[in-house]
Structure 1
Amino acid sequence: MKGLFNLGPVFGYFFRKNDPNRTSNFNLRTMHFINKLSMAMFLVGFLVLLYRWFLR
């Protein structure tokens, strides 16, 4: 149960450095941007739900 709420890899995905050994192209950069955007939108929506449930 402890590993279920481990958010370290999620935040590591947002703030990691570029690997110079990995090739990069437009499709890969676009995929990572969309993944980051969708995770950020999910977290914002989740915070809004928490606000509505607990503070209203």
Structure 2
Amino acid sequence: MRKNLFDLGPVFGYFFRKNDPSRPSNFNLRTMHFINKLSMSMFLVGLLVLLYRWFIR
């Protein structure tokens, strides 16, 4: 179980997956996915800033 703790493959797969024609798509779903990607990106940028402040500065 601990082996998969830092497995980031699904996260990067979420960002770079291609459109699946068998999945339904509408405005609400596209908006939800955009907000999810934006919030994950902002979290990662904030994490990088914190790591920079803790270790580099």
Local SS of the residue matching 2:5:
helix
Identity level (%): 86
- After TM superposition, the score normalised by the length of structure 1 is 0.96
Gaps of 5+ in 1: none
1:29-44 equivalences in 2 (<5 Å): 29-44=30-45
Gaps of 5+ in 2: none
- How many residue pairs end up in the alignment? 56
- After TM superposition, the score normalised by the length of structure 2 is 0.95
Amino acid in structure 2 at the alignment position of 1:42: F
Structure 1 segments (4+ residues) deviating >3 Å: none
CA RMSD of the aligned region, Å?
A: 0.5
In structure 1, how many angstroms separate the alpha carbons of the residues matched to 2:35 and 2:53?
27
